Amino acid sequence: MSAYGWGVQYLAQVFAGKTAISRHRLCELPGATDLWAAKLPQGLPEGQFDRRVEDADRVTQMSVFSAQQAVQMAGLDPLGVGMLAWGTGFGGAATLDDAYQRLYLGRQDLSGRVSPLTVPKAMSHASAAGIASWAKLSCPVMTYSNACASSAVAIGEAMLAIAQGRCDVAIVGGSEALIVPGVVKAWESLGALAKLNPNDPKAVWLGPFEQSREGLVLGEGAACLVLESESHAQARGAQILAHCLGYAQVNDPDCVTHPHAEPQLRSMYAALQQAGVQTDEVTYVNAHATGTKAGDASEIEALNALFDKTQALVSSTKGATGHLMGAAGAMEVILSINALRLKKCPPNLGVQKLDSQIRFKAPLKATALPLSGVCLSNSFAFGGTNISLVFKAHE
């Protein structure tokens, strides 16, 4: 799910070139301004959750809903799951923001009352715990928090667990819901957000790979997949969508906020090498590109080095969904797999003029893919975590 709504309808919207990014008022507090955001509609699906989930943080509600959808679509009995691997960057940001407002807003002391549920609702593990509670899981349940590579790490580590024979089935994914005053102001202070002139009703948002880009757009949502060993999937007659071929993680130790092309290049190359895939066999690359000047520039340099003069088409789907932080990796793997199944590259949205340094193919409209069915999905995060995942469409 994403800013397009509670469900999988976002897939068609992305490929149709319809962005979920729009202008939002941050809150009703004095001094609040508008911002570009991809925000999920308020309210919960009727009758979807029990009381425990209804009382949980928004991020946990998204997580449980996405897991329910994935398990149902996979025709899977949750009791047969051998591992739950979940990614999130911030955890229950809305719960923490509410607690701090209760304490500090208009106060000169710490007499404000904070809910006794603040800790279990706000902890990073709350989403995974909520899914495990719903599915009655007693298997290993793990949370990965590697900034905006979190759910990509979760997918990669579950792939390794299955390949090593530690389990046959894993629920994997990620979630994020951090469009709250405290977090947004922190990103503004970092100078990383796309700017919006509050006095200009015709302001235009500029997306990833745009020559004049100014920053990222925060999004919220959740994405979940079911991973299985091929033998297990075949034995239960499951519909196989794609094959996980490669996973690589390369750390960039030089700066926690400024990415570098060389570790990103090594991450992509290592994932392709593990997958046994040559660069010219790649059909589609889902770039991490967020719309920041420095981040996109580093990835452009790395992508140029690998995919100049190849058949691969490259796009950043953050121009559609916004940057989902901890959920971005999982959401983009789902979009990448569907790109292979539809044989269509999602468009780069929010681009009026492509960055002049780009030498690879970056279409501005949905474009047919070549017949080969291999994709690469990148997640390059603050803190130095560089993840690349390789998938092949199921024949």
CA 307/CA 256 separation, integer angstroms:
26
Catalytic residue among 167, 260, 323, 375: 323
- Concerning whether 232 is annotated as a catalytic residue, the answer is no
328-342 and 150-163 are packed helices; what angle lies between their axes, rounded to 10 degrees? 70
**Measured between alpha carbons, how far is 308 from 303 in angstroms, rounded to an integer?**
7
Among 139, 167, 244, 288, the active-site one is 288
Alpha-carbon distance of 93 to 16, in angstroms, equals: 31
Q: In what order do the strands lie in the sheet with 313-315?
A: 242-251, 385-393, 374-380, 284-286, 313-315
Q: In sequence order, which ranges of the chain are alpha helices (DSSP H)?
A: 10-15, 51-54, 58-74, 93-104, 118-122, 126-135, 150-163, 181-190, 230-235, 261-275, 293-307, 318-321, 328-342
Annotated active-site residue 255? The verdict is no
The two tokens of residue 382 are: 């603050």
- The DSSP call for residue 212 is T
Per the annotation, the verdict on 288 as an active-site residue is yes
Active-site residues, by number, are 148, 288, 323
